[in-house]
Amino acid sequence: MRTFILFFVFIGLISQDKAVFNNHDQDTEYRTLVFADEFEYEGRPNNQKWHHQIIPPNNGSWYNDELQHYTDSEENSYTNNGTLKIRAIKEKYSYHGSTKEYTSARLNSKFIFTYGRVEVRAKLPSTAGTWPAIWTMGANVNETGNYFGDQYGEVGWPLSGEIDIMEQTGWDKNKTISHFHWGDLKTKEYRNTGGEATVPNASNEYHIYAMEWDSESIKTYVDDTLVFDLQNTKDKPYNHGHYLILNIAIGGNLGGELPETFTEDIFEIDYVRIYQ
Please give the positions annotated as active site. 162, 167
- Rounded to whole angstroms, the Cα distance separating 136 from 107 reads 11
DSSP state of 61: B
- Residues 120, 272: contact at Cβ < 8 Å? yes
Phi–psi pair at 11, nearest 5 degrees: -55, -40
- β-bridge partners, 175: 198
Q: Cite the DSSP H helix spans in 122-251.
A: none
Alpha helices in the chain (DSSP H): 252-255
Contact 179, 199 (CB under 8 A): no
Separation between Cα atoms, residue 195 and residue 220, nearest integer Å? 9
Q: Could you tell me the maximum CA-CA distance found in the chain, to the nearest angstrom?
A: 51
